[in-house]
């Protein structure tokens, strides 16, 4: 776990989290398809690199938590099916919905299912270009097509949780609908990655 945190640049923790997403039409003036696709993916990366996504896409053996992406407390491990160790699975604490603490600001996040992304989809410490290449690679993305990636970004409920993360967490920028529209525009432009 410590190795994955060390891979993050110090500036990452100091960055101001984005709150807005640009409309896909705002990229229409970029005539070159590859340049437009790369710019669209950079906009998508405001969501992808946000702690709501990165915490569940670690390169290590356990999730991160909070806006500052600290090690999960209590300590937990990925487990054989990315849902925690036998006897201490994610659902031991994470139910079907967020649960606010009594008398304190914060909450235990919840959604069904609640799990880590597969290790092959770990993003912590990667550049935006490296994440883009990984997302497009069926060998590392769960054998997903570009259409599957769009569906995941635009409609998956666990992805949608990032915009309603419960008390004590900053939501991902924009909306899931905007994120889905950016994803489709990126695909329509040829799905090139930033360099």
pLDDT at position 49: 97
Stated pTM of the model: 0.89
- Residue 50 in domain: yes
Query: Which residues, at least 6 apart from 117, have a Cβ–Cβ distance to it below 8 Å?
Result: 56, 57, 82
Q: Is the pLDDT of residue 6 over 70?
A: no
- Residue 87 in domain: yes
Mean pLDDT value of segment 28-39: 98
What per-residue string of b and e applies to 165-184 under the rule 16 or more CB within 10 Å gives b? bbebbebbbbebebbbbbbb
pLDDT at position 15: 54
Mean pLDDT value of segment 107-129: 94
pLDDT at position 9: 43
Mean pLDDT of the chain: 90
Lowest mean pLDDT among 58-62, 100-104, 114-118, 164-168: 100-104
pLDDT at position 4: 39
- Residue 83 in domain: yes
Instruction: Output the six-digit token pair for 134.
Output: 């990984």
- Listed residue (12, 97, 21) closest to 49, CA to CA: 12
Q: Is the pLDDT of residue 182 over 80?
A: yes
Query: Which residues, at least 6 apart from 104, have a Cβ–Cβ distance to it below 8 Å?
Result: none
How many angstroms separate the most distant Cα atoms in the chain?
54
Instruction: Output the six-digit token pair for 11.
Output: 């500036």
- Residue 13 in domain: no
pLDDT at position 121: 94
pLDDT at position 179: 98
- Residue 146 in domain: yes
Task: Give me the sign of the Cα torsion angle 76, 175, 132, 66.
Answer: negative
- Residue 131 in domain: yes
Q: How far apart are CA 64 and CA 1, in angstroms?
A: 9
- How many structural domains does the chain have? 1
Query: Where in the sequence is the domain holding 136, given as residue range(s)?
Result: 18-188
């Amino acid at each position: 776990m410590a190795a994955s945190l060390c891979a993050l640049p110090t500036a990452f923790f100091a960055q101001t989290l984005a709150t807005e997403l640009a409309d896909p039409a705002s990229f229409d003036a970029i005539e070159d398809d590859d340049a437009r696709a790369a710019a669209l993916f950079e906009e998508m990366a405001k969501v992808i690199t946000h702690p709501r996504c990165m915490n569940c896409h670690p390169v290590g053996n356990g999730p991160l938590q909070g806006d500052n992406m600290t090690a999960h407390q209590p300590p937990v491990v990925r487990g054989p099916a990315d849902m925690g160790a036998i006897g201490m699975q994610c659902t031991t604490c994470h139910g079907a919905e967020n649960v606010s603490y009594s008398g304190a600001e914060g909450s235990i996040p919840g959604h069904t299912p609640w799990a880590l992304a597969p290790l092959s989809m770990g993003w912590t410490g990667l550049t935006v270009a490296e994440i883009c290449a990984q997302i497009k690679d069926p060998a590392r993305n769960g054998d997903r097509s570009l259409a599957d990636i769009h569906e995941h970004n635009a409609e998956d409920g666990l992805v949608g949780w990032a915009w309603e993360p419960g008390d004590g967490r900053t939501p991902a920028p924009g909306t899931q609908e905007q994120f889905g529209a950016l994803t489709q525009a990126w695909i329509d432009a040829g799905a090139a990655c930033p360099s």
